[in-house]
Amino acid sequence: MSRGMPRLPRPLMDLWDWQSQAACRDVNPELFFSPESERGVRKRAREMVAKSLCGTCPVQPECRQHALAVGEPYGVWGGTTESERDNAPLEHRKSA
């Protein structure tokens, strides 16, 4: 390969293969995403259940890293909520 040739991107399967191993792959996505009207105790309870499933997941770090890297604005990803990701130190978001 010559120096002037740009590197080809990694195959998409390599980038997303971790999702096939996720504990949530067969779970109703409503567990991870809040309806617009959901607030307070009900929202915290749903998030707690979602986060407990994330705690059993073999690809939790990859999921959290993805959410931080892309700035995922909604839902529970890798055991983190929207507000937890918003409050993550900037260096965690950049390194993700």
Distance CA 60, CA 3 (A): 37
24 annotated as a binding-site residue: yes
Burial profile 47-78: b = 16 or more Cβ within 10 angstroms, e = fewer: beebbebbeebebbebbbbbbbeeebeebbbb
21 annotated as a binding-site residue: no
Count other C-beta atoms under 10 Å from residue 18's C-beta: 17
34 annotated as a binding-site residue: no
Q: Find the farthest-apart pair of alpha carbons in the chain and give their distance in angstroms, rounded.
A: 59
Binding site as annotated, residues for [4Fe-4S] cluster = 24, 54, 57, 63
Binding site as annotated, residues = 24, 54, 57, 63
